[in-house]
Amino acid sequence: MAEIELRHIDKHFGVVHVIKDVSLTVKDREFVVFLGPSGCGKTTTLRAIAGLEEIDSGDILLDGKPIQNLRAADRDIAFVFQNYALYPHFTVYQNLAFPLEAVRTPRAEVEQVVRSVAKSLGISHLLRARPSALSGGDMQRIAIGRALVRRPKALLLDEPIGSLDAKLREQMRVELKRLHYENGSTSIYVTHDQVEAMSLADRIVVMNEGVLQQVGTPTEVYLYPANLFVAQFIGSPVMNVAPTVVREVDGAAEVALDGLKFGMPADLIGMLNLKAARSDLSLGIRPEGVEVSLAERPGYRPVEAHLIQPYGGFDIVDLKSGDRTLRARTVSGFVPRPGTPVFARIDPAQAHFFDNQTGASLGIRLERFQEKMPEFSGSKALPNKGLDHFGVSAETPGEAGQGA
């Protein structure tokens, strides 16, 4: 097991600058996910670590030793391809044994290792089959098995479950998590699917256009996105983001989204002054940070429910005010039908402020309004604890639970 360190990696494909000064340390036994849109450089970075792609400059260190000039074969890193890349002219057994034969492992040991890996992946009954006769899920299990037999220092996975159908993908995700839990190999996993990233990663590395946008635990990147790109890339449905103006009204702050004005704690003014940023801002708020009420309440602004998307456990409701749409998350059935007039406000604790020039988050953390909130939560619980103040959908107490 090993620690992987990237120091100032740069890489061009012709005139295209695909990796821009990437530095990162993946700790021993850590599961890191590279997340980003296609063409962001995540796969190229992974291939560079494996030795399948040369880098222009920088260092790749494995356990402190530079490996960027070693051949792929000498790096002791395993790679799982999106298309599995199982050798079609070999049986499953031969596929699994292939990496061991590269290092002249005695036949008896090969047999023993292959059988034990096959057993842990539940593919013992397939050892004599040819890859072409297998289902996608089994092929992927074998591809992962082939990566594990050699007990490599690190395991690199390039969208390994991207070709599977949704149900199988979910199943394999759990299996991958279990495998990492059992083997504890240092792993880097590339995906463009934020759900995969959130559910698997110890830390997520968000990339865009060859640049690291943010590195953090799933909770960190979700709750505290470092910039507009991360804020909008992570989270589904996507975060509401709009240019805003912050003013001081009667000793409290007020943010304006076009015609809609929402109250904010007075602290906001001071915080913005501290950052020397009052103008050219964007406000970001996740749908669960938009609190909806059917009855008029102080601080809530009148809006009209537009589209309602039921997700089973919750609804996503588009709230309209003029041309502006604010997407909110409510318990399912809370807003009975499109066109219903409702009232909304923004939970300051979930409000993000971004500098429009740089896109960077101003890092402002506000407190929730000091008032008694209903007990239940309308939003799906996040995987982390200590978030009791987070993601509460407001309802008038009298109506609570009616739609749920």
Residues in contact with other proteins by CB under 8 A are: 50-52, 71-73, 75, 77-79, 81, 83-89, 98-99, 102-103, 130-132, 134, 136, 139, 146, 150, 163
Considering the complex, state which of residue 94 and residue 217 has its C-beta at the smaller distance from other proteins: 94
Considering the complex, state which of residue 48 and residue 206 has its C-beta at the smaller distance from other proteins: 48
Considering the complex, state which of residue 154 and residue 260 has its C-beta at the smaller distance from other proteins: 154
Provide the terminal-to-terminal Cα distance of the chain, rounded to the nearest Å: 48
Residues with Cβ within 8 Å of residue 187, at least 6 apart in sequence: 30, 31, 32, 154, 155, 156, 157, 180
Cα-based torsion angle of the residue sequence 48, 54, 55, 57 in order, rounded to the nearest 10 degrees? 130
Q: Residue 255 in contact with residue 278, Cβ under 8 Å?
A: no
Q: Residue 129 in contact with residue 53, Cβ under 8 Å?
A: no
150: which 2 tokens? 């050699």
Considering the complex, state which of residue 18 and residue 328 has its C-beta at the smaller distance from other proteins: 18
H-type alpha helices, 213-303: 218-223, 228-233, 267-274
Bridge partners of 17, per DSSP, are: 12
Considering the complex, state which of residue 155 and residue 228 has its C-beta at the smaller distance from other proteins: 155
Considering the complex, state which of residue 160 and residue 216 has its C-beta at the smaller distance from other proteins: 160
3 state DSSP class of 124: helix
We find the least distance from the C-beta atom of residue 126 to other proteins, in angstroms, to be 12
32: which 2 tokens? 């890191």
66: which 2 tokens? 């530079």
We find the least distance from the C-beta atom of residue 64 to other proteins, in angstroms, to be 21
